[in-house]
Structure 1
Amino acid sequence: MKFAKEITRLRRIEGQARGVICMMEDERSCVDILQQISAIEAALRATRTKVLAIHAQESIAAIIESGDEEAQRMKLAELSDLFGKFNR
């Protein structure tokens, strides 16, 4: 399965999110809660980057195999837009 590692990572993130909820219910320190939220955000960014890389690899392989220059230009433009949109 191509997303096996990402699914595992997302399940870990899900557990972290539940942990933050418990921290809030227990009225833990805001600093501790913010640190955990920051860790969740970093894990989500890493997951997004990996999924984008998988998409790029698959797309590039497909357009190379197609030999269609117009499709290649369109797919490369799409990938460029995706990297710009999601790697901020």
Structure 2
Amino acid sequence: MAHTVKGKKQLLTRVRKIRGQANALETALEEEKDCVAILQQIAAIRGAVNGLMAEVMDGHIRDHLGDAELSAEQRQVEIEQISTLLRSYLK
């Protein structure tokens, strides 16, 4: 079973928190709140997204790269996929 299926409830909770934070940011912008409050909300959203990414990535690495049945070729494909994803995420 994939790690995103096993941890589905926890992941959805995180996504819903991020959605709530994004909604709060939208409201703050609409209400013309102070720049510092807006920046704090953006920082909170970024932190929440980074936490979600770290959790899913950790599960992926453990479940996919840690699979003892993976051939050397399959492992290399998984490594390349993660490497490409990390480069994209960190841009």
**TM band (smaller chain):** 0.7 to 0.9
- Pairing partner for 1:18 from 12, 20, 23: 23
TM-score (norm 2): 0.75
Q: Output the CA distance in 2 between the equivalents of 1:30 and 1:72.
A: 46
Query: Which runs of at least 4 in structure 1 moved beyond 4 Å after TM superposition?
Result: none
Partners of 1:49 and 1:87 within 8 A in 2: no
- Pairing partner for 2:69 from 65, 71, 77: 65
Q: How many residues align?
A: 86
Q: Output the CA distance in 2 between the equivalents of 1:78 and 1:21.
A: 34
| RMSD of Structure 2 on Structure 1 (CA) | 2.0
Q: 1:22 to 1:78 in 2, by over 3 A?
A: closer
Unaligned runs of at least 5 residues, structure 1: none
Q: Output the CA distance in 2 between the equivalents of 1:70 and 1:26.
A: 54
Unaligned runs of at least 5 residues, structure 2: 1-5
- Largest Rg, 1 or 2: 1
